[in-house]
A and B are shown apart, each in its own frame.
Chain A
């Protein structure tokens, strides 16, 4: 049934976008004319005489053949345009012992083959493709008398320096992160994966935004069926603009109703490289440092690259802690509600009495008390995100300490409630993936409602419901809960336990890789 709703959702998306598309993005039918002036006029009209459009007409060498360069200011590297194109054409031809031919076509070939010393260069005779190239930073060289242009790669714009990703900091591990430029990002991956089987399959998404998208994988490890399915889903993307990889994620995910993330996103190149080696696929998008990794399992969200960098005992204990943290992050407020409201007999009598004593002046039932505090915490978290870093910390302190303390002394909530909420917050920050932490924050409220209605029984029912949902969930067709269920005992070595590096001889079985072995020496065991 879900699938039906999903299909309908997709269809609606498709039909609603059909109408405006036809008039808006109609491909320009104008062809390149052989008259230079006419071409320049057309470009200027099409771009609405844009402020950042640069055109410069000049003569080739000391002849009377006119030509022009067209580029976008800021996108094209102006030093390069000047040195490699303008200078070469204006000066070199005259100094070289070449005679400039009269036929424009021959001039074009001469420039293309001998004069322009640039590595990426092509001839283009289609107006639309030339325009696309210019708008993505290339420079077009138009020559009077021919309807062909030379498109020279001159991309070079200001980018951000490589920084450590703010949300995924590590104590031990590389400090570099992805940036907004897709080229920098492929470089970061290529630097780590020097295998010639590494593939970067490029394509363009977005009818209007024309954003570069790269599907990265290692050709002789990845499951081909997975690759085909990912490409099939990517091909269905039909949207005007793609600003961030979140658009791609939401378009190709399996279940849009699920609170759980089905595609992993990261800013860490080491994580992406490790995932590629495991047989997963990464999707890079230009303009965002967030790279998608797929398929994923629930366990993967609780892994951190540091588990592998530290010694295995440390890694294992850290993972165990995170599993406990995720349980606490979801269920601790609901257990508080259930115990205080329904089963005070479950907690030791002394503790029950002291909880009852602290709740003495509190006018609200435990459920309202919990909702109040948990919502306040959500507010603080959201507010802290928006503020500049130093201010954010202040809000955290003011919110956490002052409001908590004041609320207790004002008799609105009990001190035990404050402890529970603080524990919940800390536990949800211990989860390495922000995506999963958000999912847990939503489920927390569901668990609190069931606890308020049915006590501990409600908590366990909500746990069962979550497990049913997770068991049904897939990530690009792969079971989300593997290797827990379906059971793959071989993969358990790298799940809650992080076995010593030398034990991890095989790639995850769940991924159906073509090449399962990671360590070939000592394979006799």
Chain B
């Protein structure tokens, strides 16, 4: 293959940023105003969003440093370099489990929310299965094509949010946002932790940096990739609180969708905006799950070079589907998500940072 065509297979700094933004914006954005309102009890939650955004950026920047130390090397290859092969195997397999569970979570989320807002009779199993098949189809194609889908869907999703917010503007009651600065520091920190769960996703930088044209720019991509969600979360939180007040927001399962429900588009052409909103939202959840599945496959193929991509997709899909079907109700579903994020906290944040420190002191570097 020629050098020029090869260059097209690599991704730019901005494209990586969009990837991070699309993987971060997923199910979390639909629920986070509830947990945040619960924790802070007031409009001050926006401070929590900024704090956790800053922390996320710091972690992301460290992860980017780690990945950029080893250009064109997969996660498994550089962990093996830093901390011996067996450790590399164990870590990569743990990460595969984490990313795979993440796909299950997203896939189940689609089923649950679609059932609540779009369908009344169609079983969750069928909704989930059809979505999983589409994700499979996407991962079966080329990797760069999958990442390009982010470029296509991200703007559409952002436009829809802007439209919803613009039409939600008449519903804003300024009384709802008062009082300012009433929450305690403890509450704010608790809120930061809760909203931090919705930022998970930027760890894809660990795995996709090897596809970047200039891996040393990975840190900048993380910044761009987190800036979009931070601004988006703040705007949405402000609107949710201003429209519903913190007291009501606490008790809404999906406050962001409820916000869309309140909206009335002038001209009355669409009766129920929340269905349209969620329909478009499927695109970003699709992006998130497709990337997670792709990363799972990427890591597995980097360990076991002899097994092809398609084989892994076919092995993983039934497992993902069965795990997705395990939660019996909404409470199960959300506690599944929380546990998953805590698991991820250790696997994809803590351990890689330790690896970076080890690599730094042992002076291990990639051959780029």
Contacts and interface: CB of A to CB of B under 8 A. Distances in A.
Interface of A: 1, 223, 225, 342-343, 345-349, 352, 453-461, 464-465, 467-468, 471-472, 477, 479, 481, 484-487, 512
A457 B271 contact: no
Contact of A465 (B5, B137, B275, B310): B137
Interface in B157-188: none
B131 A471 contact: no
Contact of A464 (B14, B141, B275, B283): B283
B134 interface: yes
Given A461-B282, A481-B152, A487-B15, A512 B4 contact: yes
Nearest to B275: A346
B271 A486 contact: no
Contacts of B268: 348
B206 interface: no
Contact of B151 (A349, A477, A485): A485
A348 B269 CA distance: 6
11 contacts: A343-B275, A346-B276, A347-B271, A457-B279, A459-B279, A464-B282, A464-B283, A465-B137, A468-B146, A471-B146, A486-B8
Given A346-B275, A461-B282, A454 B152 contact: no
Given A343-B275, A486-B148, A487-B12, 10 more contacts: A225-B5, A343-B272, A345-B275, A348-B271, A457-B127, A460-B280, A467-B152, A471-B146, A472-B145, A486-B8
A523 B282 CA distance: 45
B269 to A, nearest CB: 7
Contacts of B149: 467-468, 471, 485
B152 A461 contact: no
Contacts of B12: 487
Interface stretch (B50-58, B114-122, B214-222, B319-327): B114-122
B5 A481 contact: no
Contacts of B122: 454-455
B280 A342 contact: no
A467 B309 CA distance: 21
Nearest to B274: A346
Contact of B283 (A460, A485, A486): A460
B233 interface: no
Contacts of A486: 8, 15, 148, 151
Interface in B9-24: 12, 14-15
Interface in B108-152: 114, 118-119, 122, 126-127, 130-131, 134, 137-138, 140-142, 145-146, 148-149, 151-152
Given A468-B149, A485-B151, A486-B15, A345 B142 contact: no
B2 interface: yes
B8 A472 contact: no
A487 B13 CA distance: 12
- Give the bracket for the number of chain B residues in contact with chain A: 35 or more
List the 3 shortest-distance A-B pairs measured between CB atoms, nearest first.
A485-B148, A485-B151, A472-B141
Contact of B282 (A455, A457, A471): A457
Interface of B: 2, 4-5, 8, 12, 14-15, 114, 118-119, 122, 126-127, 130-131, 134, 137-138, 140-142, 145-146, 148-149, 151-153, 268-272, 275-276, 279-280, 282-283, 286, 310
Nearest to A225: B2
Nearest to A468: B138
A484 B275 contact: no
B271 A464 contact: no
Contacts of B286: 464
Contacts of A349: 271
B12 to A, nearest CB: 8
B167 to A, nearest CB: 15
Given A472-B141, A487-B14, A455 B2 contact: no
A346 B272 contact: yes
Nearest to B18: A487
B294 to A, nearest CB: 12
A485 B118 contact: no
A468 B8 contact: no
| Residue of A345, A456, A465, A479 with highest tally of chain B CB at under 10 A | A456
A1 B148 contact: no
A225 B2 CA distance: 8
B4 to A, nearest CB: 6
B145 A468 contact: yes
Contacts of A468: 134, 137-138, 141, 145-146, 149
A438 to B, nearest CB: 23
| Residue of B119, B126, B268, B279 with highest tally of chain A CB at under 10 A | B279
B151 A487 contact: yes
B279 A456 contact: yes
Contacts of B15: 486-487
Contacts of B270: 346-348
Contacts of A477: 5
A471 B148 contact: yes
Contacts of A346: 270-272, 275-276
